[in-house]
Amino acid sequence: MEPITFTPGTLVVLVGPSASGKSTFARQYPATWSLCLDVLRGQIADDEADQSATFTALRIQHALLEARLARGLTTLIADTNLAPHVRGALLGAARFWGRPAHAVLFGLPLAECERRNASRDRTVPVEILREQYARKPTAAELAAEGFDHVHHV
């Protein structure tokens, strides 16, 4: 997967179901760029899958996002970002700080996501993965939401 060059200060929102390659994509960039709820849940609860830590993780992620955007630092949001209201809040933060916002849409077929998921140490239940896949927006939907650019991976 070739890295994409982003203008400094860009908000990069990764969009795709679990096991679609978001974490692999994010690892192409400096670790400081990436904000991920799994990582934050792990830091809060010693368990990345502990959903009871999500509210606190979201508050921390938002504070870090605001701080980075205020400083003009490129920031990747490496979560599924499948809900329109989640993407809307991220776009709102980018607009507040006058930063460009790019979406990176992961187009791996469902069968490949399921195969990759099955080989992981920590798997997502198949029914959840399928529900995530069904919620994946199209590039046109992301553009209509207000992203300055939509990249296909």
pLDDT in 10s for each residue of the chain, 153 residues: 678 999 999 999 999 999 999 999 999 999 999 999 999 999 999 999 899 999 999 999 999 999 999 999 999 999 999 999 999 999 999 999 999 999 999 999 999 999 999 999 889 999 999 999 999 999 999 999 999 999 999
Global pTM?
0.95
CATH H superfamily, domain 11-152: P-loop containing nucleotide triphosphate hydrolases (3.40.50.300)
Residue with tokens 């809307």: 88
Contacts of 86 (CB under 8 A, 6+ apart): 79
Structure tokens at 53: 């830590």
Instruction: Measure the CA–CA gap between 22 and 84, rounded to whole angstroms.
Output: 18
Structure tokens at 70: 């205020």
| Cα 140 off chain centre by | 18
